[in-house]
């Protein structure tokens, strides 16, 4: 698990290789990741947008950007945590992801950016 805190928002990421949804012969490697977002601030925040940078070990880079996460724009009161699971397909058996969330303080509608720490996507047999 990797964790980072930016401006009082803690992001933790866990990854899992999805063998049953992968097809290595066709360069299709599927990974799931669980993200926990914890509001350590004294004010209510809302996740508005996300931006991902997805790296494959073949040198390719993809950028994905859009509203919310898995169809939601969660609101977190001080001390609240929001968790979600999503997935990523790679063309190689190793890669990584990093990104950021655009958050909004609901007390004054000011925006701020929270970093999503880089995490590795590696098929288990590559670790041996």
Q: What is the mean pLDDT of residues 41-49?
A: 98
The C-alpha R_g of the chain, in whole angstroms, comes to: 16
Q: What is the mean pLDDT of residues 14-41?
A: 97
Q: In terms of Cα–Cα distance, which of 9, 12, 13 is closest to 46?
A: 9
Residue 99: other Cβ atoms inside 10 A: 19
| pLDDT of 44 over the 70 cut | yes
The 10s digit of each residue's pLDDT in 50-71 is 999 999 999 999 999 999 999 9
26, 104, 117 from 44: Cα distances, Å: 45, 9, 22
The 10s digit of each residue's pLDDT in 79-112 is 999 999 999 999 999 999 999 999 999 999 999 9
**What element of type H or E holds 37?**
strand 29-39
pLDDT cut 70: percent of the chain above it = 99
pLDDT at residue number 82: 98
Which pLDDT band, with edges at 50, 70 and 90, does 127 fall under? Answer: confident
d(CA 18, CA 49) in angstroms, rounded, equals 26
pLDDT at residue number 128: 64
8 Cβ contact list (under 8 Å, min separation 6) = 39, 40, 41
d(CA 30, CA 11) in angstroms, rounded, equals 22
């Amino acid at each position: 698990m990797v964790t980072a805190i930016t401006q009082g928002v803690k992001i933790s990421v866990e990854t899992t290789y999805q063998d049953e949804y992968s097809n290595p012969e066709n360069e299709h490697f599927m990974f799931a990741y669980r993200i926990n977002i914890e509001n350590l601030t004294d004010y209510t925040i809302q996740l508005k947008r996300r931006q991902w940078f997805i790296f494959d070990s073949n040198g390719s880079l993809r950028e994905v950007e859009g509203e919310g996460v898995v169809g939601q724009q969660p609101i977190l009161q001080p001390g609240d945590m929001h968790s979600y699971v999503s997935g990523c397909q790679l063309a190689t058996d190793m890669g990584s992801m990093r990104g950021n969330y655009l958050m909004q303080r609901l007390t004054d509608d000011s925006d701020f950016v929270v970093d999503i720490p880089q995490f590795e996507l590696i098929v288990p047999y590559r670790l041996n």
